[in-house]
Structure 1
Amino acid sequence: MRDDPRAPLLPTSPGFWRSPLRGPRFTAVLGLVLLVGVTVLFGTGLLSYAACNPGLSPVNDKTPDKGVLGFYLFAWPTDPHWLYRLTQGVHVTLGITLIPVLLAKLWSVVPRLFTLPPARSLAHALERLSLLLLVGGGLFQFVTGVLNVQLDYVFPGSFYPLHFYGAWVFFAAFVAHAALKTPTALRNLRRLREEPGDLVSPRPAEPTVSRRGALWFVGGASLLLFATTVGQSLGGALRRTALLAPHGGADPGSGPNGFQINKTATHAGIDRAETGADAWRLVVTGRTGTVRLSRAQLAGLPQYSAALPIACVEGWSTPDQWWRGVRLRDLAALVGHDDPPDLFVESLQRHGAFRKAALRANQVADPRSLLALYVNGEELSPDHGHPARIIVPAAPGVLNTKWVARLTFGDL
C-alpha cells in the first residue's frame, strides 16, 4: 500500500521517485569510481584475450570475425611468470567488487530513464540510445562475467565471443557517456552545496540514512565481495575466505597433486586405458619427421624443473607448483628445429574449446616451458594431466594443455 494516496502512480511523473538520497553529487561519486574501475576492467580484459594468442592459429581464435577489434594483439610474453595470474585476478576480483557500485549508480539515475519526452532532439535521441547501450551492455558484461566465474553457462553460445563483443559495445557507450558527463560530475563534486536537478525529488521522502551513509553502505558491500572473492586468486590460507568462488575453500585434496583444477579426467572423457604405459605414446612431428615416445622414454630425456602457477580465465589460480619434465625446446630440437618454432598441441580430450591449442615460438623457447611428467616430486595425477601436460610461464590455464597426445612443431 502506498503511504501517500496523492503520490504519482506513474514513474514518468516528477514526484514518483522520492528518495532523498538521489542527487548530482551522490551520482558523481559513483560515476567516478566506475570511470576508473571500468577502464581497468576493459584493459585487463583485452590483455586476457591477447594472452590466448588468438592471432596465432584458428584453434585459439574463438572470435574469428573480430576484424579491426584485434588491432592491438601482440606476442604474449613469458615474463614475469605470474603475469596472467595478476592480470586476470585483477580483472575478475575488481569486476565482482564493482557490482554494488554499478547497481547503486543505476539506481541513482533511474528517474532519467523515464523522463518525457523520451527524445527532445536528434542529439538527445542519440544520447538516450547510448545510455541504453551503456546500461544494457554493463548489465550484460557483469552478468556473463559472474556466470563464467561460477562455471554456470546458462547463456546461449560461447562465453568468449559474447563477452568479447559485448565488452566493445559497452566500452564504446561508456566512453561516449564519460566524455559527456565527467566534466559535470567534477563540477558537482566541487560544489559546496547540492544544487537541485532532475535527480533531486521535488517532494523527497523523510531520510532514513544520509548520502554519506549510503556511500559507506555501497563501499562496505564492495569490500565484502572483495573479501569473499580475492582468495581464489591469492591462494594459500586466504583461499578459504573465497566463499563465493567455486575454487575457494579448501584445496580439493592433499599431497603433491592436491591443488585446484577446472576439469577432471572423467569430465574430459579420458579413458585410463588410453593413458597406460603400454598404450600411450607421445607423437612429436617437426622438420625431420615424426617420432613416437613412451612415457619411460620421455623420463629418460634430460629433465628440468620450474616453479609456475596455474591461472585461469575465471580468475582463480594456484601458488607456484614445482613441475618437472622435458623442455619444449628440447623436443623441438629432437625433430630438427634448432630455433624453436610455433607449436600445435593436441590432447586426448575429445571435446572442449581448447582441446587443441597453439603456442608461440617465444613460449616454446623459454627454458621453463615444459612437457611436465611430475609435479611437486610426484607423477601427475589423472586430473592434472597424466601422462603428460604442457606448462608455460605466464600462459592462461587453457593453453597449459593436459593429457597431451601430439606435438607438431613448425609455422602454423
Structure 2
Amino acid sequence: MRDQRLPPSSPGFWRSPVRGPWFTSVLGVVLLVGITVLFVTGLLSYAAYNPDLSPVNDKTPDKGILGFYLFAWPTGPYWLYRLTQGVHVTLGITIVPVLLAKLWSVVPKLFALPPVRSLAHGLERISLLLLVGGALFEFVTGVLNVQLDYVFPGSFYPLHFYGAWVFFAAFVVHVLLRAPAAVRNLRRMRSGKGPEGEAGGEPDFPLVSPRPAAPTVSRRGSLWLVGGGSLALFVTTVGQSFDGPLRRTALLAPHGFADPGSGPGGFQINKTAAYRGISARERSDEVWRLAVTGPSGTVRLSRAELLDLPLHSSALPIACVEGWSTSDQWWRGVRLRDLAALVGYEADAAPDVLVESLQRHGAFRSAALRANQVRDERSLLALDVNGEPLTPDHGHPARIIVPAAPGVLNTKWVARMTFGDL
C-alpha cells in the first residue's frame, strides 16, 4: 500500500499500518534463531562429506580458512545425518515466509535519504546489501536443489558453501548493529508501553507511516498469517524425513518421492541407472568385476564370488543432501573391513578407501570414506536389499552403505575400491 503522489524516499509513501518496529523485531528474533540453526546444520552437512579427503570429496576448491574441519564424521548414531540434514532443509523451507515478511517490513529503509549518515550507518547499509542478496541466493539455490532443479550456473556445492559464508558474515554484522533496538522493542511490548517509534517516530527512517491507511489486519494478525504460511510449508515438507503415513504429506518433496514403487526396491532414489549412463551390459554378471586394491595387490571379484564371501546385514536408511531420507532398509553384503583384509590390511586397522563408480558423469563419480567408516561393522558393500538383489536404480551389481553418511557417499554401481591413505 503506497501513496503514488510521494517519492519512495518519503516516509509517507509507505502507508501500510502493519509496518512497525515491533512487527519487524518479532520477525527478526525468529530469523535470528532459525538462521543460526541453519548455519550450524549446514556446517555439519559440510563435515559429513569428510571434505579433507581432498580432492575427492572436496567440492569447494580454494576455500582456505572457511573450510575448517574439526572432526571426522562419526558413524553413530546411524540416523545422525538423517536428523541434521532433515532439520536443515525442513527449517530452511519453513522460514521462507518469515524471511519474505521481514524483507517486506523493512523495504522502506532501502529508499532512505541520504543513503549514508555515519560510519555505523554505512556499515549497516553494506551489511544489508550482502544480507538481503545472500539470503535470497541461499534460499533460492537451496529450494532449487531440494527440487532437483539444477538451473543455477556451476555446482551447487561451492555456490551454496561460499554464499552461506557471505550471508552469515553479513547476518552477524546486522545482528550486532540491530539487536539492541530489537531487544528494547520486545521489552517495551511486554511492559505494555508499545515499541519504539510507535508514538514519536524513529531517528533515521520510520517504519510506522505518518499517514497510515485504514487497517485491514492487525500486526498480530499479520504474524498469524506469516506463521500459518510457515506451518503449511512445514507440514508439506517434514514428512520426507519420517516413516509411515506422515511421509505421504511431503507434497513439496522432489518429484517421484511420494510414490517410489513397491517391493523390496520400493524406496526413494535420486538418479536412475539410465540417467547416469549405466548400461545393462556393463553391470551384468558376465561382464562386471569389482577391483579391490591394497598393499598386497589387486583382487578382481565377480558378484557370484562376492556372494561366496561371509555376508552380513545392516538395517540403515539413506539420507540425502536434499533433506529426504528413506526408512531403514535391510541391506546384506560384504563388510568393507573384510574387503580391506583381502588386500593386505588387518580388519581392525582398515584405512581410508576410495570408491569409484561405473557412472559416466556427475559430481560424485568417486567418493572417499574415512577409516572409522570403513571399520564400522555395519558398513557394507551391499549386494541385496530387503531380501532381494539390488535393482539397477539402487546400484546393482553392488553399492556402498555406511551408517550416518550422506546418501551421495553411499556410492552406487561400484567398480573399484582402493584402500590406503588418501
Interval of TM-score (by shorter of Structure 1 and Structure 2): over 0.9
**1:343 aligned partner:** 353
Partner AA of 1:194 in structure 2: P
| TM-superposition CA deviations, 1:29-84 (whole Å, max 9, x none) | 00000000000000000110110111012011111211101223420000000000
Equivalent residues in 2 for 1:158-177 (5 A)? 158-177=155-174
Alignment of 1:35 onto 2:36? no
Q: How does 1:9-408 map to 2 (within 5 A)?
A: 9-191=6-188, 192=192, 193-196=194-197, 197=202, 198-246=206-254, 250-338=258-346, 339-408=349-418
Regions of 4+ moved over 4 Å: none
How far apart, CA to CA, are the structure 2 residues paired with 1:271 and 1:151?
23
Q: Distance in 1 between matches of 2:315 and 2:249?
A: 25
Moved more, 50-59 or 33-42: 50-59
Identify if the C-alpha distance between structure 1 residues 247 and 318 changes in structure 2 by more than 3 Å, giving closer, same or farther: farther
Pairs aligned (count): 409
What are the ranges of 5 or more consecutive residues in structure 1 without an aligned counterpart? none
Q: Give the alignment's TM-score, normalised by structure 2.
A: 0.95
Unaligned regions of 5+ residues in structure 2, if any? none
1:248 CA displacement: 6.6
Q: Once the two structures are superposed, what CA deviation does each residue of 1:308-362 show, in whole Å capped at 9, x if it has no partner? A: 0000000000010000000000000000010100000000001110110000000
CA shift in 2, pair 1:127/1:250, >3 Å: closer
Residue identity opposite 2:352 in structure 1: D
The structural deviation recorded for 1:232 is 1.0
TM-score normalized by the length of structure 1: 0.97
* Aligned partner letter, 2:67: G
Q: Which moved more, 1:183-192 or 1:399-408?
A: 183-192
**Amino acid of the structure 2 residue aligned with 1:237:** P
CA change 1:107–1:295 in 2 (3 A) is same
Give the secondary-structure state (helix, strand or coil) at the position aligned to 2:78: coil
Q: Which residue pairs with 2:421 in the alignment?
A: 411
CA deviation string 1:377-402 (max 9, x = no partner): 00000000000000000000010000
Q: 1: distance between equivalents of 2:257 and 2:217?
A: 36
How far 1:3 moved relative to its partner?
8.9
Q: Distance in 2 between matches of 1:102 and 1:224?
A: 15
Name the amino acid aligned to 1:159. F
Report how far residue 123 of structure 1 moved. 3.0
Shifted more, 308-317 versus 116-125: the winner is: 116-125
Conserved? CA contact 1:231–1:248, under 8 Å: no
Q: Distance in 1 between the 2:241 and 2:26 partners?
A: 28
**1:11, distance to aligned residue in structure 2 (A):** 1.0
> For the aligned residues, what is the CA RMSD?
1.3
Contact 1:55 1:73 in 2 (8 A): no
Deviates more, 1:181-190 or 1:360-369: 181-190
One-letter code of the match for 1:206?
A
Q: Could you tell me whether the CA contact under 8 Å between 2:39 and 2:164 is conserved in 1?
A: yes
Q: Distance in 2 between matches of 1:175 and 1:106?
A: 17
8 Å CA contact retained: 2:52, 2:69: no
Percent identity reads: 79
Quote the Cα distance in structure 1 between the aligned partners of 2:56 and 2:36.
29
Provide the rounded CA distance (Å) in 1 between the counterparts of 2:54 and 2:352: 10
Structure 1 position 247, deviation (Å): 5.3
Distance 1:211 1:408 in 2: 61
